[in-house]
Amino acid sequence: MIPRVQKSKHTVLQFLPLREEHVVPLDDLAPEAIRVAVRDELIRNPDSPEGIRHAAALSAVSKRLGFRGGFDGYQKQWPSLRDFMREHGLLHRKNLLAPPPEAWSVLTLRRQYLAERIFNSGRPLPKRIFTGHDFDWAFVDQHSHPPMSGPMQARYALPVVDPAEVALFLARHLRTHVSAGFNLLHDGLVHPRSDDHLVIGTWFNPTTPPDEVKEIQREDAESFRLFQQWIDRDRRGWVELIRYNRELVFLRAPDGAYDFVFRGLRDRPPPAAPFDGNLSPLDIPDVLMFHACFERWRYFQVERWSDRDEWEAETAYYAAGGDSSQYPGMREVARRWAVARGIYQAPTLATDRTALDNFVPVAVDGGSTLLVSPLVTIAELRRFLSETGYAARRAEKVDDLAAPNHDPDDLPACVNWYDAQAYARWFEQKHHRPVRLLRCAEYLRLHPGALSAGALPRRAPGTDPMQARLTNGCVDFIKPDGTRRTKWDFIGSDEHARFRSGLSWREGAGGLRFIAAIGFGEWLFEHNETSAAAINTATLQGIHDGLPVARDFFPSSSWGKYRACKIGFRLCYEVDDTTTQEVAR
């Protein structure tokens, strides 16, 4: 079970995860501060799956900071640590990794990435690092500069020769070019620099012309080198790194301000239970728990240079033909990469992959076979509700589950995305199949294709899209008095939705049936914490705004009411046990 993590009342800069899945906020090295932090953590999370006593937690923190003898040993060595701090001019604590607002968030180093560069990269400890602390960021204000002259007015003009033009050029290209090199994967932000090699965080779709790729890479590199020259002019913005032991390193600013980092540092709280507050862990299918398991593995059980891992994962995604329009998110890209490299072993899914009644086999990319169900019906939804306690567990939603399911039992059920996942979990346990929703790309391959413009109802210029969907779609909204709504407006909680008679259907791959009318969508797998892909089955665009479905997400807690539609779903699973990792993609 994944524990619910309560939020701290103050902003914590850094956390120390313990093996027992407790996390201690660690912004102060004083023994009393550590004692209080450990006590508060044990109070906040008493239900952690791996309980730990207060004394054991204190000893674990001391060991992780590089001290022997448990917490008693730490307290005995505390005077020596204070003397070390005084001798090295570490006078007052300050966040030295937070440049002022005018530097913009694009030029901020993550605290965890700095700690991992120091402790996990295998590279020598730099003497200094550029964090932007106390740096003069006035140059980023474009309005304080005169207009660029001559060729500098062009979109890109490198190299910059006139020193008077450098500040304005950097101000204009911080986001587009300089930020691509603002990382600790190379030595551009440290002293001494072992080499001049740069690692640039810019990737390209497979269709990008090679000449364009080469030109943008050149612009990124030359822009960052120009930025290097700018920050190398004086010591402002730079802080010294001072090692205390193998596990603890201090940062010191010229004015005596100090900060510290340690091995295993995390700069964010641990990942909470997925869909926290919207979907009980009891109702989450295994395929979605994969992602939660991976995130907790990264947080608690692995000591790697995650900044480099993520860069390599991103590079591998695009090198393998990945496209930004189908980008599944950094966490998923990182998970796939870790699985492919053998770094991470995914949990095992249900192993029974024989065909179930009504599931249609269809070929998918790579020569494997996908078994796909028809749209889940109202009768099947009711069976699920009667056999589980889901109705009682169901979180308070924007939309009522009963309101859109007043049709005959053999018609498609209408649910929100969370409901679809809970149904999948029940089905998974009942039939021992690793079911999930279809992915966007899979759905588009199985569907017979979008209706032609001539087959779609015409919408008069200036007509509200929701009014057009209400008028010409396949769904009626019924008022409390039993009359059909004809004007689009706020849909009350006392109204319900039902299909119009004579639903139009089309056949796709393997004889799968799809509703061919505006006003109906299907939930798909792609999602974030609060929204998910929902496709218009007539246009094959997102049913929310009519954009490409992979980036036109719909609120996961809605069944479609506020966009004048119904949204259903179907299940699928792979026949071929290619690997559980691929199933979880």
Please give the mean pLDDT across all residues of the chain. Answer: 87
pLDDT in the model for residue 366: 64
With vertex at residue 76, the alpha carbon angle to CA 75 and CA 77, rounded to the nearest 5 degrees, is: 90
* Contact partners, residue 530, CB within 8 Å, separation at least 6: 278, 555, 556, 557
> What is the predicted pLDDT for the residue at 68?
95
Question: Measuring CA to CA, which residue among 562, 535, 532, 539 is closest to residue 470?
Answer: 562
Tokens of 576: 């071929």
pLDDT value for 101: 67
**In this model, does residue 581 exceed pLDDT 50?**
no
DSSP output for 482-549 = SPBP-S--PPPTT-EEEEPSS--EEE-GGG-EEE-STTEEEEEEEE-SSEEEEEETTTSSBTTTSS-G
What one-character DSSP code corresponds to residue 301? I
What does the block give as tokens for 134?
């106390």
Confidence category of residue 224, pLDDT binned at 50, 70, 90: very high
- In this predicted structure, which of 21-25, 126-130, 558-562 has the lowest mean pLDDT? 21-25
CB 58 within 8 A of CB 34: yes
The pLDDT value recorded for residue 452 is 87
pLDDT recorded at residue 152 = 37
Q: What is the mean pLDDT of residues 113-127?
A: 97
Supply the pLDDT for residue 359. Answer: 96
Task: Tell me, rounded to whole angstroms, the distance of Cα 460 from its chain centroid.
Answer: 40
Beta-carbon contacts of 190 under 8 Å, excluding residues fewer than 6 positions away, are 126, 128, 129, 130, 184
Query: Tell me, what amino acid is at 512?
Result: L
pLDDT band at 100 (very low <50, low <70, confident <90, very high): low
Mean pLDDT of 39-50: 73
- pLDDT tens readout for residues 384-433: 999 998 998 887 665 789 999 999 999 999 999 999 999 999 999 999 99
- With tokens 């993520």, the residue in question is 310
Q: Among candidates 572, 566, 573, which has minimal Cα distance to 378?
A: 566
pLDDT value at residue 398: 57
pLDDT band, residue 458 (cuts 50/70/90): confident
Strands 369-372 and 360-363: antiparallel
Per mean pLDDT, which range of 141-155, 345-359, 400-414 is the poorest? 141-155
Task: Tell me what the mean pLDDT of segment 259-282 comes to.
Answer: 89
User: Is the pLDDT confidence value at 48 over 60?
Assistant: no
Beta bridge partners of 128: 191, 240
Q: Residue 578 above 60 pLDDT?
A: no
- State residue 70's pLDDT score: 96
Q: Is the pLDDT of residue 3 over 90?
A: no
Tokens read off for 383: 């069976």
236 exposure class (CB count in 10 Å sphere: 0-12, 13-18, 19+): middle
Question: Is the predicted pLDDT of residue 155 greater than 60, yes or no?
Answer: no
Q: For residue 580, is pLDDT > 70?
A: no
Least reliable range by pLDDT among 153-157, 225-229, 330-334, 382-386: 153-157
Band of the pLDDT at 8, cuts 50, 70, 90?
very low
Spatial separation of the C-alpha atoms in residues 183 and 555, rounded to whole Å: 34
Beta strands at 23-25 and 92-93: parallel, antiparallel or unpaired: unpaired
CB 155 within 8 A of CB 273: no
pLDDT tens digit sequence for 499-542: 999 999 999 999 999 999 999 999 999 998 899 999 999 999 99
- Give the per-residue pLDDT at 146: 45
At residue 35's C-alpha, the angle toward residues 32 and 39, to 5°, is 140
- Of the two residues 272 and 47, the one the predictor is more confident about is 272
- Cβ-Cβ contacts under 8 Å for 192 (sequence gap 6 or more): 126, 127
pTM equals: 0.76
- List, for residues 514-524, the tens digit of each pLDDT value: 999 999 999 99
Residues in a beta bridge with 133: 237
With 70 as the cut, is the pLDDT of residue 51 above it? no
pLDDT at position 289: 86
Query: From start to end of 185-236, where are the E strands?
Result: 190-191
Identify which of 16-30, 49-63, 303-317, 387-401 has the greatest average pLDDT.
Answer: 303-317
Q: How far apart are CA 85 and CA 80, in angstroms?
A: 9
Domain boundaries, the chain: 14-88, 131-239, 286-341, 360-575
Residue carrying structure tokens 């070929």: 363
State how far the Cα of 154 lies from the Cα of 467, in Å rounded to an integer.
46
Question: Quick check: 474 pLDDT over 70?
Answer: yes
Output phi, psi for 412, to 5 deg. -60, 140
Which CATH number is 360-575 given?
Answer: 3.90.1580
**What is the pLDDT, as a whole number, of residue 50?**
55
For residue 268, pLDDT beyond 60: yes
Compare 162 and 342 and report the one with higher pLDDT. 342
Please provide the size of the chain in residues: 585
- Give tens-digit pLDDT for 308-335: 999 999 999 999 999 887 787 888 899 9
**Angstrom distance (rounded) from CA 306 to CA 18:** 18
Residue ranges in 342-402 assigned as alpha helix (H): 378-387, 390-393
CA proximity to 125, closest of 235, 41, 227, 246: 246
Residue 365, classified by CB atoms within 10 Å of its CB into exposed (0-12), middle (13-18) or buried (19+), is exposed
For residue 507, the cross-strand partners are 513
Rounded to the nearest 5°, which phi and psi values hold at 193?
-100, 120
Higher pLDDT, 293 or 130: 130
Does residue 164 carry a pLDDT above 80?
no
